[in-house]
Amino acid sequence: MTAVPDHFRLDGRTAIVTGASRGLGAAMAQALAAAGADLVLVARGSTAALQKSIAATGRRSVAVAADVGDPAAAAQIVAAAYAEFGRADILVNNAGIIRRASLLEFSEADWSDVLRTNLDGAFRLSQRFAVEAVARKRPGKIINIASMLSFQGGVRVASYTASKSALAGLTRAMANELAASGINVNAIAPGYMATDNTAALRADAARNQSILDRIPAGRWGQPEDLAGAVVFLASPASNYIHGITLPVDGGWLAR
């Protein structure tokens, strides 16, 4: 019988991570490298520090400068994975943006920009990844990064909530169609994480405390808190898991 830890190893696999230059994306990329994967790092910012850290684990990486909301980006990103590593086994759709405004004042641009990045980009890249995997008869793992607002409504974030709720539904829809081809599609829903997207909330003393009061764990999540979840869903240990959205939230939803 194979030892349990081997089920979580990613040796010989290549993972694509979008929004990889910082925050959640960088932490998940580092975790996948530590588990044995080579990385395709998709970002508009610099990935130099992350690539140095990945190299220290003995894994390889390549950076792809791309805006996932660009309809041409999906083909470019997947092609880069095959050109550099000859394969693409794991896709983490992490790139995302948020815009805040009251519903009565929410602009068309703030609506369309968020949907373009958070939902359209994830759909196109997942589709391109799956087309190549099915054509090559290779199994694969697609991991979408959802949100607490895949379950809840939020305030002043209409387009973000719409995109993350839709992404949870898309995860289920893609799982239904791709499971028979050996492709697992699942999602991770981070709770309140200490990243750039939440800097304004953490800077507001009253809002910060109200959030902490709701989290049973008593603290904001750190990007590294997603390491176990992303490695699990990327690994053979999750081969019979399809279509879930896994909260990593310090107990927020249980409250």
Catalytic residue among 82, 160, 192, 240: 160
The secondary element (H helix, E strand) that includes residue 92 is strand 90-93
Angle between helices 121-135 and 73-85 in degrees, nearest 10: 40
Count of alpha carbons within 13 angstroms of residue 162, beta-carbon side: 16
3-state secondary structure at position 35: coil
Amino acid of residue 133: A
CA–CA gap between residue 65 and residue 147 (Å, rounded)? 25
Any residues with CB less than 8 A from the CB of 193 and at least 6 apart, and which? 23, 24, 220, 221, 222, 223, 225
Q: Where are the alpha helices (DSSP H) in the chain?
A: 23-34, 48-56, 73-85, 108-115, 121-135, 158-178, 199-203, 205-214, 227-234
Per the annotation, the verdict on 240 as an active-site residue is no
Sheet order of strands, 140-145 included: 61-65, 38-43, 14-18, 90-93, 140-145, 183-190, 245-248
Which residues are marked as active site?
160
